Amino acid sequence: MKNMKKIQNIRKISQILFFLLTIIGLINKFEITMTLIMVLTFIIGPIYCGFMCPLGFLQDLMSTLGRKMSIKKFKMPKYIQNYLVYVRYIVLFIVTVFSLNIIFTILRYDPRSNLLQLLLGRYLDIVSILIIVSFLLISLFFERPFCNYFCYEGAKYSLVGALKLFKITRNDENCISCKLCDKSCPMNITISEKSLVNSLQCIDCYECVSACPVENTLNLKTAVKEKHNKKKITLLVAILLVYLIVFVNHANLGEIVNANDLKSIMNSAEDIIKNELELDQRKHFGKGKFKNNTKEITSNVNKSDVNSNEAFKDDISNVNISNELPKTTTSEVDIPNELPKATTSEVDIPNELPKTDTKKVNISNETIKTDNKQVTETKENNISSKASTKEVVYIGQADGFNGPITVEVTVKSGLILNIEVVKEHDDYNWFFRANNVIPDNMIKKQTYDVDVVSGSTYSSKGIINAVKDALTNKKIK
């Protein structure tokens, strides 16, 4: 009993520690941390709510402040409490099953999520801040108002920990019915009427154990009897596996490349190599990748010293050549000395090209650039031949849900190697849903033309448009 009373000191230290870790961004950045919390929840219960949650910690502080100020604490009437406790489970069900934009638009004011953003230095609108402050002020009069009725994350942890191995037990023989346990419980559980505290509302704060004046009346014990151990543990492991499958599935919502995709890529690469080898009197090498109508080609020509690398869609490509055009090309096109002037898309070319100028000839949807000194690509529209052999980082920006989203796109040899969001102001939960999928999909498909994540439309479009801006304007970091 004495050891259990000391647990409140441990709990306070834990809350302060996790509060500080959240501020410096060490908690919300690691999926492995959240996975560990879920595993502990299976075994012990919703320990995150009682020991780690920043909003829970602030509500506890305000409640303590209220007691210091002699503010009377109120308990929700039982007949209302019995109905209100289901609200957070209904919200959890709606969020989990129906990924509708309207739901996530409403939940953008979730004070728990918004407090995490605020602690991590992210932008919040005035309405979100006022909602956080309101719940903290209500905590002066009611214990953990948000946790009791509105926190769907807490509802999730409660369901995950429903079969926890350790629960609070009450010894009927020792109990003196003082009801101090009921008064101390921040989740309004009537502990004095239970021999085993198995309520889903329990957040494992152990306030009731610390408040009990009689030794060995309330204790934390293994709640599963020996003869039921095997059955319950088996069920526990089964639920854990189901959760891990769902967790991994949500963490990898991007498109999976199947066998047909790989076969198509290999065949496309083989065709490019074959076409390159058919060119006579030159040394060529090529590598190609076809995916979602996207093609990348690298080609070297000894005589004209051409080095071109361009990613393009549909049937448009850029070919760089020197001032002396080769007689044979893959498309076998003859260029007359003079082009007709009948259409606006055709350009006259004199017998001799000016040495200091660059001309463009549109032939069969191909643009040919010539220069008497060396082949170059304009900085505004293309990656230079020199930059094509090394990594280039482009910066792009677009509007997200709560403000601008800034990305850095790393490109090498015409390929998108990495996409990183370096600055954003969107709600963490919704932004995470989009950022966990969109960049990977764009890298896999080598295009910014990807689908948005359902329920995170605004964050998805913000990331997509920011990458589009980076690749279009090519603003180098």
Residue 143 DSSP code: S
pLDDT bucket at 259, cuts 50 / 70 / 90: very low
Q: At what angle do helices 428-435 and 111-119 cross, to 10 degrees?
A: 80
pLDDT at 476: 87
Number of residues in the chain: 477
What three-state secondary structure class fits 465?
helix
pLDDT at 35: 78
Q: Is the pLDDT at 396 greater than 90, yes or no? A: yes
Contacts of 208 (CB under 8 A, 6+ apart): 168, 181, 182, 184, 185, 189, 191, 197, 218
pLDDT in tens, 263-311: 454 455 455 445 544 544 444 444 444 444 444 444 444 443 444 444 4
Whole-number Å distance between alpha carbons of 191 and 211: 12
Residue 396 bridge partners (DSSP): 407
Per residue in 406-441, is it b (16+ CB within 10 Å) or e — as a string? bbbbbbbbbebeebebeebbbbbbbbbbbbbbbbbb
* H or E stretch covering 153: helix 152-160
The number of beta carbons lying within 10 Å of the beta carbon of residue 25 is: 13
The arrangement of strands across the sheet holding 196-197 comes to 196-197, 166-170, 218-222
Most confident among 216-220, 236-240, 264-268, 282-286 (mean pLDDT): 216-220
451, 469 contact by CB (below 8 A):
no
pLDDT in tens, 324-380: 444 444 444 444 444 444 444 444 444 444 444 444 434 344 333 434 434 333 343
pLDDT bucket at 425, cuts 50 / 70 / 90: confident
pLDDT at 9: 85
pLDDT in tens, 306-321: 444 444 344 434 444 4
Q: What phi and psi values does residue 168 have, to the nearest 5 degrees?
A: -80, 130
Q: Is the pLDDT at 441 greater than 90, yes or no? A: yes
Over residues 378-399, the mean pLDDT reads 66
Residue 303 DSSP code: T
Instruction: Tell me which of 11-25, 400-414, 430-444 is least confident.
Output: 11-25
What is the residue extent of each domain of the chain? 2-251, 259-370, 390-476
Q: Is the pLDDT at 469 greater than 50, yes or no? A: yes
pLDDT at 296: 43
Whole-number Å distance between alpha carbons of 433 and 113: 13
Whole-number Å distance between alpha carbons of 56 and 150: 12
